[in-house]
Amino acid sequence: MTEDALSVYRSLTSMDVKVALMVSPHGPVPAQLVPKLSQLRGTAAVQSTWPSNRQPNEPFTLQGELPDRLERIRQHLDQWWSKVGPEVQNYLIENRDGELDADYKAAVMDAGDGNLDGLIVAVVQDNNTEKFRLPPIVDVYVEMKARDI
């Protein structure tokens, strides 16, 4: 996925929208996001009917690079989540909006796939407390799990 696509996804202000796209990348997209998401190279927001036949409440869906990449990220993070174990899962869910203890850094770093064009996971740690926050995209995934979706 191009950096532009990741940047746009990360810049979405609503966690609800990010979670919805993570849960169902090819699902309905809020109409107000269509102009922003349609500017991504290799991504289009489309409707299933021609504009002349469009139903008033028919949703837009994404096709192309962004939803395909989000689908692959979701599959990768599903595998990661199943490997970290219930104690780590519970801790991440319970503390997802705050700082995490350094003891959980390795587990969070394992969420990356190691591919240069893949899911790069980096954490920024406080020098004094060694605490850190969930990195982008991993935070959305953990929020999705917290909502039990």
Beta bridge partners of 46: 61
Q: What is the pLDDT of residues 104-122, one digit of tens each?
A: 999 999 999 877 666 778 8
Comparison of pLDDT for 36 and 132, the residue scoring more:
132
Instruction: Give the up-direction half-sphere exposure of residue 11: CA atoms within 13 A in the CB hemisphere.
Output: 10
Mean pLDDT, the chain, as a whole number? 83
How far are the Cα atoms of 90, 92, 108, 128 from residue 103, in angstroms, in the given order? 14, 11, 10, 15
pLDDT of 2 strictly over 50: no
% of the chain residues with pLDDT over 90: 44
Residues contacting 30, CB < 8 A, separation 6+: 17
pLDDT of 141 strictly over 50: yes
pLDDT at 1: 44
pLDDT of 139 strictly over 90: yes
Q: What is the pLDDT of residues 31-81, one digit of tens each?
A: 777 777 766 666 656 555 445 555 667 778 888 788 888 999 999 999 999
pLDDT of 102 strictly over 90: yes
